[in-house]
């Protein structure tokens, strides 16, 4: 068992253990979530069919321990990550007389986690919730750190709350049900954590590319969560150093948007890291050249690094980002392998920066 304790505004454990779902009640009890509570499992249709069923391991384990279980299943996908889904969940909880001492379980990927977390933050002005991520991406990214939220018409994640979970449980067994491209999505974020703050992730990924090996993936994921823990503890509300986690993300969000979300998040992050690191080398903003190594790793995992959009298309999409204040934009720039820093540039200079990166990539 791997246990990482996050000391944010709330203190909680991230538990990573093979077959952890079989002992969920015990883990909840250790996190002071006792079995006299009501629990509502919130999940989407796909994950429900794998891990949400009343006959399944999780439900059986929790109900045998005495928890009064409820379940709310919604249609998955970005188009349902909305205020109306949250409203429907809140109505469901109120109709079933959930109180401040009851709790929610987010069972699923990042969308389920974000929607459930925001519902937990908003119901009765805040109740507990537990993250049980069922993708590698959610495990290393959204399940830890308390950023919750939904999309608005104008863009992604524009509404939400900072609301930390009471516990995160990752059972590597869930990786068995993931197609390879979804494993890769998680690997992109894992490698990203390495580039930001932990060179050993890069070293290990370099020597071992067995993406079907759960033990290997769990070890890398734990290191990525450790990077996230440090950053979140330092800057929970994302006013400074937490922005380092956005390495590759300004461009990733733009690429996702331009593709109408046909390019998945992790794959877009891989492309984004490639472009940014190539541009940063060109601009001589890195202390040592970084793009070569970054591309080498990404290619080892067979990430397609082509970008079908022009710098002007990407710039336009990027400048709609919610984080832009005034006429400046903060980028995450690699300094060396395992270290990134924030650099603020004028929004007017963004297109030139992207062009420079994309041009440099062509020759690599």
Binding-site entries for NAD(+):
134-135, 147, 156
| Residue closest to 202 by CA, chosen among 214, 213, 190 | 190
Residue 342 lies near a copy of itself (rule: CB under 8 A): no
Cα gap 153→9, rounded to integer Å: 30
Dihedral Cα 259, 264, 267, 269, nearest 10 deg: 80
Whether 228 and 245 have beta carbons less than 8 Å apart is answered as yes
Q: Which is nearer to a copy of itself, 159 or 288 (CB)?
A: 159
Give the residue numbers of the binding site for Zn(2+).
189, 249, 265
Q: How far is the CB of 323 from a copy of itself (least distance, A)?
A: 7
Q: Which is nearer to a copy of itself, 69 or 124 (CB)?
A: 124
Q: Which is nearer to a copy of itself, 242 or 267 (CB)?
A: 242
The residues, ordered by sequence, that sit 6+ positions from 226 with a Cβ below 8 Å of its Cβ are 4, 198
Helix (H), strand (E) at residue 40: strand 38-44
Sole window of 250-258, 287-295, 324-332, 349-357 interacting with a copy of itself (rule: CB under 8 A): 324-332
Whether 44 and 112 have beta carbons less than 8 Å apart is answered as yes
Please identify which residue in 159, 209, 346, 364 interacts with a copy of itself, judged by CB under 8 A: 159
Q: How far is the CB of 197 from a copy of itself (least distance, A)?
A: 23
| Furthest-apart CA atoms within the chain: distance in Å | 62
Q: Which is nearer to a copy of itself, 97 or 362 (CB)?
A: 97
DSSP state of 80: G
Dihedral Cα 137, 143, 146, 148, nearest 10 deg: 70
Cα 322 off chain centre by? 17
Per-residue mark of binding to a copy of itself, 274-313 (x: CB under 8 A): ----------------------------------------
Instruction: For the segment 87-126, give every residue that binds a copy of itself (CB under 8 A).
Output: 87, 90-91, 94-95, 99-101, 118, 121-126
- Give the footprint of a copy of itself on this chain (CB under 8 A): 83-84, 86-87, 90-91, 94-95, 99-101, 118, 121-126, 147-149, 152-155, 158-162, 237-238, 322-326
């Amino acid at each position: 068992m791997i246990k990482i304790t996050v000391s944010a505004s709330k203190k909680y454990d991230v538990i990573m253990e093979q077959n952890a779902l079989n002992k969920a009640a015990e883990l909840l009890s250790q996190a002071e979530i006792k079995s006299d509570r009501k629990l509502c499992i919130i999940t989407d249709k796909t994950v429900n069919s794998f891990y949400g069923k009343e006959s399944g391991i999780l439900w059986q384990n929790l109900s045998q321990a005495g928890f009064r279980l409820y379940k709310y299943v919604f249609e998955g996908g970005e188009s349902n990550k909305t205020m109306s889904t949250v409203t429907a969940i809140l109505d469901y909880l109120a109709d079933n007389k959930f109180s401040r001492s009851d709790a929610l379980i987010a069972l699923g990927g990042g969308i389920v986690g974000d929607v459930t977390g925001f519902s937990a933050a908003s119901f009765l002005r805040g109740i507990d919730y537990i993250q049980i991520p069922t993708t590698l991406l959610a495990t290393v990214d959204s399940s830890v750190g308390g950023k919750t939220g939904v999309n608005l018409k104008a863009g992604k994640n524009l509404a939400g709350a900072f609301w930390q979970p009471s516990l995160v449980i990752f059972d590597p067994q869930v990786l068995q049900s993931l197609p390879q491209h979804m494993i890769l999505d998680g690997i992109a974020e894992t490698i990203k954590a390495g580039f930001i703050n932990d060179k050993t992730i890069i070293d290990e990924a370099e020597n071992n590319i067995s993406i079907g090996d759960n033990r290997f993936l769990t070890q890398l994921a734990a290191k990525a969560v450790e990077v996230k823990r440090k950053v979140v503890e330092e800057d929970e509300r994302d006013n400074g150093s937490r922005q380092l986690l956005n390495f590759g993300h300004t461009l990733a969000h733009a690429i996702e948007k331009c593709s109408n979300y046909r390019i998945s998040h992790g794959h877009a992050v891989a492309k984004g890291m490639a472009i940014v690191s190539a541009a940063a080398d060109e601009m001589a903003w890195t202390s040592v050249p970084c793009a070569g190594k970054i591309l080498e790793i990404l290619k080892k995992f067979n990430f397609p690094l082509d970008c079908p959009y022009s710098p002007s298309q990407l710039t336009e999409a990027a400048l709609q980002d919610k984080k832009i204040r005034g006429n400046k934009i903060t980028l995450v720039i690699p300094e060396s392998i395992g270290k990134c820093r924030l650099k603020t540039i004028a929004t007017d200079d963004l297109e030139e920066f992207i062009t420079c990166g994309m041009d440099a990539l062509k020759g690599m």
